[in-house]
Structure 1
Amino acid sequence: MAKLTFDKAQKAVGIGALVEKTIKFRGVDGEPFEGEIFIKVLSSDEVANITDVLKLKKDEKYTIDQYRAAMLLQCVYEGKDKPFFPDLKSTGLVGEEMKVAMYLAADEVINFTGKHWLLMKNQNSSVNSSAVESADKQ
Structure 2
Amino acid sequence: LESYLPRLQDVIKSEIAKWCSRPDAIDVYSAAKSLTFRIAVGVLLDLRLREERIVYLAKIFEQLMNNLFSLPIDAPLSGLRKGIKAREILYANMEKIIEEKMARQQVEDEYQDAFDYMLSSAKESGQQLSIQELKET
TM-score normalised by L of structure 1: 0.29
TM-score normalised by L of structure 2: 0.29
Instruction: Please tell me whether Structure 1 or Structure 2 has the larger radius of gyration of its CA atoms.
Output: 1
Give the structure with the larger strand fraction.
Answer: 1
Give the structure with the larger helix fraction.
Answer: 2
